[in-house]
Each structure stands twice: as structure tokens, then as C-alpha cells.
Chain A
Amino acid sequence: MIERPESPRRGGHWYLLTGLLIGLALGLVYAWKISPVRYVDTDPAALRADFKDQYRLTIASAYLATGNLARAQARLALLQESDPLQAINDQAQRWLGQGKPAQEREALLALASALRQSQPAAVSSPSLPNEPSLPAQPGATDSLTPSASGRASSAQTPSPSATPTRTRLPPASPTPRPTHTPTPTPGAPFRLSSHQTICDPALPEGLLQIEVRDGSGKAIAGVEIVITWQGGEEHFFTGLKPEMGNGYADYQMTPGVLYALRLLPASTLVTDLSAPSCNDQGTEYWGGLRLIFEQR
């Protein structure tokens, strides 16, 4: 009997491909499941959405405490959002709906208001876009500030701390102080300057629209409005719908219910507000109201 030597031709070289595929599968299982890449030095932009909300709130609260808008802007930049102002407004709106504490919403709105008012200045200042965002170097505006960390960071993150050397920061970097931020006349009362009935079938029934302006006619965001009715009270703010204007706020009235409304800290008290009855070619429907307040 003749013993035939093992011949590669019998099975071809498929066994090599089979081995390669098995190995590839094992490697991927190990790399993706058993021991995936672990991120331990992440940046705030990678945070989950709810953590970003918390981070944003802390930025706003710190801004409220210090009035340092430049630092707040640098911190917001770490979240790498296309429109930080919109993100803050959205969060304030969501938190209003979720019944979060009023002081948290106020902090967000205060920062939103300051950002909105600072926007024209930021655009006109040639130095601001080139300034490093330095939340990791909080003393940046004071003097020489070493970098926070020399560790490698992800390449796409323009981290201020990536350079392990001392960096002289622009000495003339403007750090706007809170007193520089234009604000409406503090404490001046709001006066009701217009009270209109709106009969527009295109609008939601019973819509109460409010606009708040300062003495020069400029819309004011972040003004707290208190509306009360028998057995209830609700607080809301202007500026939460920036697409309608910074000083705009609205409220959905229930037809047949009488409301009273005032602005904080002080305004004329508007009473007996209710959804008016309107008629459009014989069709009855509930209209809305439009109130305009001006500061004196």
C-alpha cells in the first residue's frame, strides 16, 4: 500500500483563510467586548446630555457668583456646541417644564442674557476669537499661567492644557466685569403700555402674549412673570423663545378663567385677564391677548 504524502492541494490553502478569519473574530471580540478602549481622560464635550446640562448649570451658577463672563464663555466653549446661547435657552425651557428650582433657571437665564448682550461686542472685537479658552487655567487673566496638564489629549480638542510649558497669555485680554454688562435699569418698575385683544384663528386659542422692553424700547430677556388665578400660580420668563424676540413670553390661558399678572421685581398688576371671544365669519373661537410692558 502506498502512503500518500499530505498534499496542500487536497484542501488548498483555505485552512489559512479559515485561521485568519477565526483569529480576526477573536481579535475583534477581545478588542470590542473583553477589553475595549477605555477613555479615562475625556473632555466635557463627550459628556452625556444630562451631564452636559449639569455642567452648563454649574457654569451659569459660577457666572452668577463671579460675574466673570469671559470665563463662563471659555467654559461653555468646552462643550463644543454650535450655539451655546441656544443650548442654554433650550435647557432653561426644558427645566421650566420639569419644574426645576427657580434659582437654577434664573442662573441659566442670567447667563443667557449676558451672552446675548455681549454678542455684538464679541463680534466687533478682533482679539476675542483668537483668545484661548482657558477654563483649565483659571488664572489666565492674571499673569503667567502654566498649563494644567501635559497629558495627551484627543487631537480634535483644542484644549488649553495640552501644552506642558508656561504660556504667556495675552496681557490685554479683556475680562469683562459684571458692571460692564449692559443691563436694564435695575429695580425700575414695569408699566403696562399696551393691552390688545388678538383675534387670529391661526394662533392657539387663549394665547396670552407678553412683551417686555426697557425704557429705550429694547427687549429684555429673563424677566420673571407671575400669573395667578383662583387656586393657582405660575412663574415664567421672557426670552425663552428667542425666535419670537428676547422680551417675548407667552402663556396658554384656559377659556373662562380669570387671571392676574405681574412682572418681577415690580410692575403694575394687570387683573381680569381672560381669553376673549372672537368671531370669524360666523365661527366663534377663543382669541388671545397681547400685553406690552415697558420699564420706567
Chain B
Amino acid sequence: MWRWIGFLLAVAAGIGLGLLYGWVISPVQYTDTAPDTLRADYRADYVLMVAEIYHHEHDPSLAAQRLAFLGSEAPSRIAAEGLDFALQHGYAPADVAMLQELAWALLTWQPAAGGVP
């Protein structure tokens, strides 16, 4: 009986060590990540880049294509998230204005058939 208890305690200790090693000491390394895992501030800055380009070329279709880089969400939603972030974190007024311009344009933009959803 004690032998079984000792065995199970050893198993539990081993699991604990395994988790410690696998999660803390040597976790799975991600080096080839996808853009949808980017941290919120980096995402917002990417959206700002797209807004800067949009402010120059006024092509919502291209802007939507560029925003698709950040994931499969609707471009208008990605732009709106970027704008929210900028407003919450006090981006410069000129940058906020460009983000607003982009978000508004994508809100009213209708993708062509086969385009970015």
C-alpha cells in the first residue's frame, strides 16, 4: 500500500518537474509567429501605418488588403480597434485623425466580389 502511495507521489512530482521544465525552463520557442499574435500596441502602430498610406492614396481596397495582414477580422473592425487604442493612449491628434479617416472609410466601404471580406 505505501509502495503505491510512494509511486503515485513520485509520478506527481515528475509531472510537476515536467511542467516546470516545459513551461518555465525550456518552453516551446516561437520564432515564426503570425501577425495576429502581435501585441496590441504593435497592432495599433501597424494600423497607423495603413492609415498614413490611406491618407496619401485614398484607396480603401488597398487599405483593407493591408489590414488583412493582422488577421481575419473585418478590416473596419481592425481599424476601429486601432483607433480605440490610439484614443486610449493619447496618440498625437494628427495620427488620431488619420486613424479616424481610415476607420470611417472602411466602415462605409463595400468590398468588391472576391475582395477582402
Contacts and interface: CB of A to CB of B under 8 A. Distances in A.
Interaction A to B: yes
A188 B21 CA distance: 65
Interface stretch (A11-19, A194-202, A244-252): A11-19
A75 B49 contact: yes
B40 A66 contact: no
A46 B33 contact: yes
Interface stretch (A31-39, A220-228, A232-240, A258-266): A31-39
Contacts of B93: 139, 142
B103 interface: no
Chain B, interface residues (CB within 8 Å), range: 35 or more
Given A48-B34, A54-B69, A138-B95, A26 B11 contact: yes
A58 B14 contact: no
Interface stretch (A90-98, A114-122, A148-156, A208-216): A148-156
B42 A43 contact: yes
Contacts of B3: 6, 8, 11, 15
Given A28-B22, A51-B69, A145-B91, A65 B14 contact: no
Nearest to A148: B41
B35 A47 contact: yes
A64 B52 CA distance: 9
Given A15-B6, A48-B32, A149-B39, A26 B14 contact: yes
Size category of the binding interface on chain A: 35 or more
B11 A136 contact: no
A54 B20 CA distance: 37
A139 B92 contact: yes
A273 B17 CA distance: 72
Given A30-B19, A37-B23, A138-B48, A51 B35 contact: yes
A27 interface: yes
A22 interface: yes
B15 A23 contact: yes
A37 B27 contact: yes
B15 A24 contact: yes
Interface in B1-16: 2-3, 6-16
Given A27-B22, A39-B33, A139-B93, 9 more contacts: A16-B6, A27-B16, A31-B18, A37-B23, A48-B34, A51-B34, A51-B69, A58-B46, A136-B42
